[in-house]
Amino acid sequence: MDLSHLDKKYFIDTRIYNCPFCRRGNVVYRIIDSFIFDWSNESKVFGYLVKCGSNGCEKISLHFSKKELRKTTRSEYGLTLMNEFKDNIDLDNEFFYSRPTSFFTIDERINKKIRDLVFEAEQSRQANLLVGGSACLRKVIYELLEFEKSILRDKKTGHANYQESIRNLKNKFPKK
């Protein structure tokens, strides 16, 4: 049974996730805090702080949802919310914002301008602003080419030829 699709998820289930900080998969996590705030006059947002259970990592990530996702228990005093997510829900689909993002955190050694553009592209994707996100990624490519001094110019027009520049960058860093 192929379970490779789980490598691309943030939350595997209500107890296990892929930590974006220590980059370990199948790590136990726990909700350390939750809160509700007014997103607008008409809607509330539920926030969750999740802590990695990996020894040595223990970093905290932030997640927003438009729904209450915690389990409840009934007692003589009414319903009580627990610091556990409900069973049988796809948490990745329930969160509309996660920080850091589900797939990677950008290393500090990467140029700040490039990191900021990748962050902006991710924010655009999460807000479903796909044209803006793709424009940011295009700018990331241009900045990377400029940073690596790999821009090739068309001899007739003097304009940058980005297809050839990308090939040039690929040749600059061959696989070893």
Alpha-helical (H) ranges within 24-161 are 91-94, 112-126, 130-147
Q: Which segment of 8-22, 60-74, 99-113 scores lowest on mean pLDDT? A: 99-113
**pLDDT tens for residues 81-96?**
888 999 999 998 898 8
Q: Give the predicted TM-score (pTM) of the model.
A: 0.62
Q: What is the mean pLDDT of residues 11-39?
A: 89
Report how far residue 81's alpha carbon sits from residue 69's, in angstroms, rounded to the nearest whole number. 10
Q: What is the mean pLDDT of residues 87-108?
A: 79
